[in-house]
């Protein structure tokens, strides 16, 4: 059991999975510009906001946003890219994959994508922390 504890402790650095830098986020994403956000499962990818840009997802029950910064080596600020189908995002630097339904790691990564609050205001999704 002792080796397992050591592995878990060192896996996400600095006492947990808050490895992506905290930066102020207040972005507006236009649903007119990203019309796929009207549909459950639809998503938008931006290069602005957060550490490495944002992914905004329509969950069918609301909206959630993630920082595109991979949690594998966050210092590199490697931006994840959404794969075909919009269910998974992949880190092109490490090959790590994340599920966009909740940001959890699917392959290689041990820490989830950094989430942000997202809510709809008319034809705009407001993303903030």
State how far the Cα of 80 lies from the Cα of 63, in Å rounded to an integer. 19
Enumerate the β-bridge partners of residue 30: 124
Question: Measured between alpha carbons, how far is 112 from 41 in angstroms, rounded to an integer?
Answer: 19
For the chain, which residues make up each domain, given as ranges? 18-128
- Token readout for 55 is 């992914």
Q: Which helix (H) or strand (E) holds 10?
A: helix 2-11
The set of residues, in sequence order, having a beta carbon less than 8 Å from that of 53 and lying 6+ positions away, is 45, 46, 47, 67, 68, 79
Q: What Rg do the C-alpha atoms of the chain give, in angstroms?
A: 15
Residue 52 near residue 78 (C-beta atoms within 8 A): yes
The CATH fold of domain 18-128? Rieske Iron-sulfur Protein (2.102.10)
- pLDDT value of position 13: 47
pLDDT number for residue 125: 98
Check if the beta carbon of residue 103 is closer than 8 Å to that of residue 52. no
pLDDT, block means (10 residues), the chain with 129 residues:
36 62 96 96 96 96 97 95 93 97 95 97 97
Q: How far apart are CA 27 and CA 76, in angstroms?
A: 23
pLDDT of amino acid 8:
36
């Amino acid at each position: 059991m002792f080796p397992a504890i050591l592995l878990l402790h060192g896996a996400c650095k600095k006492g947990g999975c808050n490895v992506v830098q905290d930066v102020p986020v207040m972005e507006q994403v236009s649903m007119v510009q990203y019309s796929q956000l009207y549909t459950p499962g639809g998503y938008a990818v931006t290069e602005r906001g957060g550490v490495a840009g944002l992914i905004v997802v329509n969950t069918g029950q609301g909206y959630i946003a993630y920082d595109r910064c991979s949690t594998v080596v966050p210092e590199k600020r490697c931006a994840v890219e959404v794969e075909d189908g919009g269910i998974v995002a992949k880190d092109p630097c490490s090959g790590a994959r994340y599920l966009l339904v909740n940001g959890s790691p699917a392959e290689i990564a041990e820490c989830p994508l950094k989430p942000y609050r997202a809510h709809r205001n008319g034809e705009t999704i407001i993303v903030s922390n």
